[in-house]
């Protein structure tokens, strides 16, 4: 077994700027530290999947995701273990896990780390994700496979993601949606992969500077919105594209509108920021 790369480096996640949620109730899960990752978490992953969530008191959404996963862990009666990383107190661990946004999730199966969460999901969506994780683990001889088996295209997409091959993962999700157009997991997976493809290798700081200097450049503004949403700053990203929708027409307006809808798909539809942005989009179009 081996630790994730860059385990000793520090993390620098900027302030999320959200009101602190009520954490008077004890937070669930095994608290991951630099000391117990090697001695406890990795060995445990040889017997059951260990799901690690990076969270912060400054992000109410991450606390909600954490509590939802705690509910699922209890319902699954020990089939997997929930562990947590508070990015404010365990920054080196968050960096080791390569957390880029909050909430961020990675599962350890037989000592190997697989990222699986980079946006807020509802408890229902998280149940679908956990079923996939249990299926993957069972195929590696860890735990038991859930009754609901995965689709072959999902297996193909997850295998591609594990290799960092986003283009193959995108193609696999598109094949699944061609066969099952209403598969919500495939829709979410496709939207996430496409965002990863668009933001892979870019310099976020440079993109944001270019967006300030070139307010009329549609492609740069769309790229900047991707960066903002990827970083958890949903409202600035949505508002950036909404301004374009209001001033553009025809094909350009449709292009920006479609991008907005793709970004909406990455967030819980009950999130007030999505509800507000959807209403603004409807007003701008009609």
Q: In this structure, are strands 30-31 and 81-86 parallel, antiparallel, or unpaired? A: parallel
Lowest model confidence (mean pLDDT) among 93-97, 172-176, 253-257 = 93-97
CATH of 1-147, one of 3.50.50.60, 3.40.190.10, 3.40.1190.20, 3.40.30.10: 3.40.30.10
Mean pLDDT of 138-157: 78
Torsion of CA 227, 231, 236, 238, to 10 degrees: 70
Per-residue pLDDT, 145: 63
Mean pLDDT of 254-273: 83
Write down the domain spans for the chain: 1-147, 201-285
Residue 8 scores a pLDDT above 70: no
Between 270 and 35, where is the model more confident?
35
* Measured distance CA(50)–CA(111) in Å, rounded: 9
CATH topology of domain 201-285: 1.25.40
* pLDDT tens, position by position, 199-232: 888 888 899 999 999 888 999 999 999 998 888 7
* pLDDT tens, position by position, 81-140: 999 999 999 988 888 888 878 899 999 998 888 888 888 888 888 988 898 899 888 888
Query: Which of 36-55 are b and which e, b meaning 16 or more Cβ less than 10 Å from the residue's Cβ?
Result: ebeebbbebbeebbbbbbbb
Contacts with 56 (C-beta within 8 Å, 6 or more apart), sequence order: 13, 16, 62, 86, 87, 88, 102
Torsion of CA 64, 70, 75, 81, to 10 degrees: 140
Residue 272 scores a pLDDT above 90: no
């Amino acid at each position: 077994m081996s630790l994730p790369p860059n385990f000793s480096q520090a993390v620098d996640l900027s302030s999320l700027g959200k009101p602190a949620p009520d954490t008077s109730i004890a937070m669930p899960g095994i608290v991951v530290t630099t000391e117990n990752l090697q001695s406890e978490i990795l060995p445990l992953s040889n017997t059951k999947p260990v799901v690690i969530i990076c969270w912060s008191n400054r992000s109410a959404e991450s606390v909600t995701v954490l509590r939802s996963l705690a509910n699922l862990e209890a319902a699954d009666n020990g089939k997997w273990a929930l562990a947590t990383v508070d990015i404010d107190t365990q920054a080196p661990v968050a960096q080791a896990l390569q957390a880029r946004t909050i909430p961020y999730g990675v599962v350890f199966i037989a000592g190997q780390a697989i990222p699986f969460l980079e946006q807020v999901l509802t408890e229902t969506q998280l149940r679908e994700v956990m079923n996939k994780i249990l299926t993957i683990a069972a195929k590696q001889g860890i735990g038991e496979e859930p009754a609901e088996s995965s689709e072959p295209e999902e297996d193909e997409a997850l295998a591609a993601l594990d290799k960092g091959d986003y283009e193959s993962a995108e193609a696999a999700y598109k094949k699944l949606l061609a066969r099952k157009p209403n598969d919500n997991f495939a829709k979410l997976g496709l939207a996430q992969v496409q965002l990863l493809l668009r933001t892979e290798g870019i310099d976020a700081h440079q993109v944001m500077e270019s967006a300030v200097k070139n307010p009329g450049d549609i492609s740069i503004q769309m790229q900047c919105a991707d960066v903002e949403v990827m970083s958890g700053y949903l409202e600035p990203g949505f508002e950036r594209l909404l301004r374009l929708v209001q001033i553009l027409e025809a094909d350009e307006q449709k292009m920006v509108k479609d991008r907005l809808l793709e970004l909406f798909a990455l967030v819980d539809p009950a999130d007030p920021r999505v509800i507000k942005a959807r209403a603004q989009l409807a007003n701008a179009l009609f």
